[in-house]
Amino acid sequence: MTNPRLHNGRLLLTPENPMAKAGLSHLSALLQEGGLIEAAPSAQPMRFGPGERLFEYIGFTGCAVQLDQAPGSPHAFAMGLEGPFEAPQLRSGRNSRPPRCPECRSAVSSWRQQLDPEMGIGTNGDHASDLLSCTSCGARAPGWHWNWGRHAGFGRLFIGIEPVFPGEGRPLPALFNLLERVEIGPWRYFYIQD
């Protein structure tokens, strides 16, 4: 039996305000105009190849950055746009660490059990299943109020860039300047691995 290939990871960007949203056609037009994504989408809707100005927006570290662009390659470098969703959605992975309480800053190690994906996180409208409870101070708040660091996050709109191993591709100030033109406030980034 062979081990399945582990996902290298992806860099995700989302507005700092988890309630912020914008239309994907507006966002994709802005990113195309800025040269982050190529003008023609791939065979999958809202999935794009890298634009000619990619390296002005993302700083890559490591020995040799290679952007696999072979047609049909499962490892091809690509960017995808998701949303806007009706309610904030959690994006997390095997690298996600416990979030910190907004009141006492304690880490909540039971977050995965509290935010059970089978409960429809962020999709039920009343957000009852989105509440996290702090085991240290008893605070209860929706998951998007907690500090997830660079390992997970909530949002109604996402830009995903993959494959990017956590920490090896970092958004540069020019990218945040470009995203300001969406006019929905500042953006944040984090990394997840499936």
Residue with tokens 């953006």: 187
For residues 102 and 136, membership in a common domain is answered with yes
Phi/psi of residue 20, nearest 5 degrees: -65, 145
Query: Per-residue pLDDT averaged across 134-161, rounded?
Result: 94
Average pLDDT, the chain: 85
pLDDT by residue (tens digit) across 56-94? 999 998 655 566 665 556 567 889 999 999 999 999 999
What global pTM score does this model have? 0.86
Q: Is the pLDDT of residue 2 over 60?
A: no
Tell me if 1 is assigned to some domain. Answer: no
Structural domain including 117 reads 97-145
**Both structure tokens of 107:** 């880490």
Query: Per-residue pLDDT averaged across 95-100, rounded?
Result: 95
Q: Is the pLDDT of residue 124 over 50?
A: no
Q: Is the pLDDT of residue 8 over 90?
A: no
Tell me if 92 is assigned to some domain. Answer: no
For residues 101 and 81, membership in a common domain is answered with no
Q: Count structural domains, the chain.
A: 2
For residues 78 and 161, membership in a common domain is answered with yes
**Both structure tokens of 48:** 């794009």
Tell me if 5 is assigned to some domain. Answer: no
